[in-house]
Amino acid sequence: MAVFTPVTRAQLESWLRRYTLGELHDFEGIASGIENSNFFVTTDAGRFVLTLFERLSHDQLPFYLGMMQHLAQRGVPCPDPIPDRDGELLGELNGKPAALVTRLAGKVNLHPGPAHCALVGELLARMHLASRDFAGDLPNLRGLTWWRETAPRIAAFLTPDDAALLADELAAQEHFHGIRAYRDLPRGAVHADLFRDNVLFDEHAGVPRMGGAIDFYFAGVDTWLYDLAVTVNDWCCNDATGALDNARYRALIHAYTATRRPGEAEERAWPMMLRSAALRFWLSRLFDLHLPRPAEIVTPKDPADFARILRERRRFVPPLND
């Protein structure tokens, strides 16, 4: 279980006195995730998720909590941060910044079909449109600057073929991020990690319904196209080969573009942006595998998955708009 900072019942009961949520019924650690310590919490007032932030600072966290609050207020299904008696969204527990948010209904689907992908495409477009008037300003902390810093640290662990791929792709991305066509792409607050394990569905009679997006703690200001590319690379991918599944791809893209139509500049940038998204997660998985930090139980994800995806996106990318 990815719980880096344990919490006892007595500690949680004391901390919850800051809120008007009644008595604590039960709580349990959440196994998913490798960045923060997460717990399901149930009180008289309902079900919530408690997060203790292991890497993010007090200065960064208002962006994430404010973004969720902003989206929730505009009808986007996502966790809504709970203010304490003083109206604060952020506190401290066991020496770590901590926040409590609403718990959404539903569960993840790790083997989605086109219907699930269509719902995700619509959700993502709604998130982008709703974020246009969000005033928060925090750069994507796993963007180009982080890639530059991380690549030399993990290069020694790579095979010669993978090292050559990393060097070549990083050089291509340095060039891409430096041109005006990239700088002029529409941007705003983005989720930046909308993988299959970060979306919940409430299924009825075999028909999926959107439960909502969770885990906004990799969010930041970046291009909307990058956010779409991150999502497509996970939801529409053949896990064995890294290739895009046409039915899931078309379903997600059609639903997204029906809500927010990308412009011509975004269409031209689409192939490089899919590669950007693949590089980001290849690097982060290599980092988590080879340079882990202590935890109670953590299982890093396989970096080879995104090496395959990157190679496949360098080979072929379908059009963004028909």
- Per DSSP (E only), the strands in 124-247 are 187-190, 199-201, 210-213, 220-223
Query: Given this model, what pLDDT does residue 299 score?
Result: 73
How far, in Å, CA of 52 to CA of 93, rounded? 7
How far, in Å, CA of 171 to CA of 216, rounded? 29
> Which range is least confidently modeled, 52-56, 235-239, 259-263?
52-56
How far, in Å, CA of 116 to CA of 207, rounded? 9
Confidence class of residue 57 from pLDDT cuts 50, 70 and 90?
confident
Q: Residues 265-298: pLDDT tens digits? A: 999 999 999 999 999 999 999 999 998 876 545 6
Confidence class of residue 8 from pLDDT cuts 50, 70 and 90?
very high
Query: Given this model, what pLDDT does residue 321 score?
Result: 80
3-state secondary structure the chain: CCCCCCCCHHHHHHHHHHCCCCCEEEEEECCCCCCEEEEEEEECCEEEEEEEECCCCCCCHHHHHHHHHHHHHCCCCCCCECCCCCCCCCEEECCEEEEEEECCCCECCCCCCHHHHHHHHHHHHHHHHHHHHCCCCCECCCCHHHHHHHHHHHHHHCCHHHHHHHHHHHHHHHHHHHCHHHHCCCEEEECCCCCHHHEEECCECCECCEEEECCCCCCEEEEHHHHHHHHHHHHCECCCCCCECHHHHHHHHHHHHHHCCCCHHHHHHHHHHHHHHHHHHHHHHHHHHHCCCCCCCCCCCCCHHHHHHHHHHHHCCCCCCC
Query: Given this model, what pLDDT does residue 4 score?
Result: 82
Query: Phi and psi for 169 in degrees, rounded to 5?
Result: -70, -40
Domain ranges of the chain: 9-102, 114-315
Architecture of domain 9-102: 2-Layer Sandwich (3.30)
Dihedral in degrees, nearest 10, Cα atoms 170, 145, 249, 299? 100
Query: Given this model, what pLDDT does residue 298 score?
Result: 61
Confidence class of residue 100 from pLDDT cuts 50, 70 and 90?
very high
Query: Given this model, what pLDDT does residue 1 score?
Result: 44
As a whole number, mean pLDDT of residues 249-274 equals 97
Confidence class of residue 322 from pLDDT cuts 50, 70 and 90?
low
> In the numeric block, which tokens belong to residue 171?
């050089």
Between 57 and 66, residue with greater pLDDT: 66
Query: Given this model, what pLDDT does residue 109 score?
Result: 96
Q: Residues 204-224: pLDDT tens digits? A: 888 999 999 999 999 999 999
As a whole number, mean pLDDT of residues 240-247 equals 97
Confidence class of residue 33 from pLDDT cuts 50, 70 and 90?
low
Query: Given this model, what pLDDT does residue 296 score?
Result: 43
As a whole number, mean pLDDT of residues 294-304 equals 73
> Which range is least confidently modeled, 33-42, 138-147, 149-158, 222-231?
33-42
Q: Residues 114-138: pLDDT tens digits? A: 999 999 999 999 999 999 999 999 9
CATH number of 114-315: 3.90.1200.10
Residue that has been written with the tokens 């083997």 in this structure = 111
> In the numeric block, which tokens belong to residue 22?
């009644």
